[in-house]
Every structure is written in C-alpha cells, then in structure tokens.
C-alpha cells in the first residue's frame, strides 16, 4: 500500500535540534512522556533523563531499532540502526547527523545494502518549524523524494506535499498531541511523516489523500480518539479500523 511504502522509504534515516524546535505546552501538559504507540506502525521510546536514547519500530516484515548517540552538547551525533527480518537475519547501519545553527541540516546513511546511500536535507521556517525534507537515495541511479509541510497559526500541519506523487490535507481536534513532548531532532529520526502527524500541536481528526497528477481523491480517513483525564489520547481508530494505542 502507498502509505506503507512511503513510511518504509523514509524510516531509514533522520536526526537532531535544540529546545527552540519544541512546541510549547502548558504546565499541566508537561507531566507525561510518550513511551509507546501501537498501531499500523508500532514504536517504543526509551529515555535517559528527558532525552530519548532508543526507538523501536515494528513493521510488517521487520523490526527496526535505533540507538541515538549524543555529543557533549546534547546534540545527536549519530544513530545505530539495527534491522531484524522475519527470517531472523540481522543488518546494521549508521546514520550520521550534521548541524547548522543548532538545527539538523543533513543526515547521511550508508545502508547495509551494498552501494545504497541515503542523504536527507532539512529546511526550516523563521519559527524553526520543519518545512522541507529532501531524501536523496543513491543505488545505481539517484532518486529524490521530497516532503513539504505547510502549517497554520496553531502549529498544525494542514498540508503535506509529496511532489509528483500525492498530497495530504489535515483537520485537527483541540487536544494535545502526545508527540509535542518529543523534540524535533528525535522526530526527524522517527521519520513518521505520513502515518502519524508528529509535527503538529493537536491530533488529526480527518485526512484526505489526493493524487498530485490527477487531483483525484485517493483516500479519506476520519479518526476518533479516546482521551484520559489529562486530555491526552489513549486510543485512536479510523484508518482501516485498525486501532492505535498510546502509553505514557
């Protein structure tokens, strides 16, 4: 399916930023840390202090573990990426991170597949919000995949463009997105640009996916959440009726 292919393509790289990239939340919202998400793609976060040190993904045919290594300035230096496949084989590669003015500008991964290299470039707006990701994939030939994010004044991504492929339109609730407690550097490593709207302040209520070439609507999704007493989502249903669960 398109969304799984897109998620897999982007899962393989990404990394780091300072506190200026975090969406501000009120004091009562600062008592939680997102530890696990279980759904179409499941992942788990392990913390050392308030920094995420490990991320685990579960996909259809593999599990992916990323160990994040920080330098003395608490910036991500690199991540060690381990892939375990259904046949129990294991592959490992490393993603290196480059900063400019405390913002991640580039990540580079020499993949475990011979002659396969992925380099990603990141651009930000004047509010240090991520607005563009360009993924350069080199395997015999060079292929570029671009993700472009458009925000409203509430810090929600209202449109995600994937040029020459498709674009996504989003609507939101007024509750706190649990990913607001994860810094932008870690979100870049996470790379969940299409399955989870990790860059937004609030939670996605509706999503429309439109073909970029024909303008035809490919898919429509509506999401329903259950919240805890802190107005944080604990479950979500919608896409193919597959539930997503959040643990803190």
Q: What's the whole-number mean pLDDT along residues 179-204?
A: 90
19 pLDDT higher than 60: no
Domains of the chain: 2-247 (2.40.160)
Burial code (b: 16+ CB inside 10 Å, e: under 16) for 219-236 equals eebebebeeeeeebbeeb
Query: For the whole model, what pTM was predicted?
Result: 0.83
187 pLDDT higher than 90: yes
Closest alpha carbon to 201 in 223, 174, 238, 239: 174
**pLDDT confidence bin for 98, thresholds 50/70/90:** very high
For residue 195, what pLDDT is reported?
Answer: 73
CB contact at 8 A, 239 and 171: no
Distance CA 190, CA 157 (A): 17
Q: Which residue has 């300035």 as its token pair?
A: 73
For residue 42, what pLDDT is reported?
Answer: 86
Q: What's the whole-number mean pLDDT along residues 103-129?
A: 95
Q: Which residues sit opposite 237 in a β-bridge? A: 224
Beta-strand runs (E) in the chain: 36-38, 42-48, 51-58, 62-70, 76-85, 90-100, 103-110, 117-124, 130-139, 141-151, 157-162, 166-176, 202-211, 217-222, 224-227, 233-237, 244-247
Residue % of the chain over a pLDDT of 70? 88
| More confident call, 185 vs 193 | 185
**pLDDT confidence bin for 162, thresholds 50/70/90:** very high
9 pLDDT higher than 80: no
For residue 190, what pLDDT is reported?
Answer: 87
CB contact at 8 A, 206 and 217: no
Q: What's the whole-number mean pLDDT along residues 225-237?
A: 95
For residue 31, what pLDDT is reported?
Answer: 60
**pLDDT confidence bin for 43, thresholds 50/70/90:** confident
Alpha carbon dihedral 122, 123, 125, 126, in 10-degree steps, equals 100
Average predicted confidence (pLDDT) for the chain: 87
């Amino acid at each position: 399916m398109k969304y799984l292919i897109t998620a897999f393509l982007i899962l393989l790289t990404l990394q780091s930023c300072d506190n200026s990239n975090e969406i501000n939340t009120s004091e009562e919202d600062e008592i939680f840390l997102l530890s696990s998400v279980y759904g179409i793609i499941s992942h788990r976060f392990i913390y050392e202090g308030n920094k995420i040190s490990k991320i685990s993904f579960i996909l259809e045919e593999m599990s992916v573990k990323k160990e994040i290594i920080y330098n003395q300035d608490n910036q991500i230096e690199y991540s060690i990426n381990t892939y375990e496949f259904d046949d129990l084989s294991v592959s490992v590669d490393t993603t290196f991170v480059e900063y400019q003015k405390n913002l991640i500008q580039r990540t580079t991964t020499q993949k475990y597949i011979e002659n396969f290299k992925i380099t990603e470039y990141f651009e930000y707006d004047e509010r240090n919000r991520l607005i563009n990701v360009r993924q350069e994939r080199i395997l015999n030939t060079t292929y570029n995949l671009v993700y472009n994010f458009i925000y409203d004044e509430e810090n929600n991504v209202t449109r995600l463009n994937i040029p020459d492929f498709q674009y996504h339109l989003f609507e939101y609730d007024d509750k706190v997105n649990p990913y607001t407690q994860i810094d932008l550097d870690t979100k870049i490593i996470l790379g969940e640009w299409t399955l989870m709207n990790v860059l937004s302040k609030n939670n996605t209520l509706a999503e429309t996916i439109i073909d970029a070439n024909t303008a035809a609507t490919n898919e429509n999704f509506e999401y329903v959440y259950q919240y805890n007493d802190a107005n944080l989502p604990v479950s979500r249903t919608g896409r193919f009726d597959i539930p997503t669960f959040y643990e803190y």
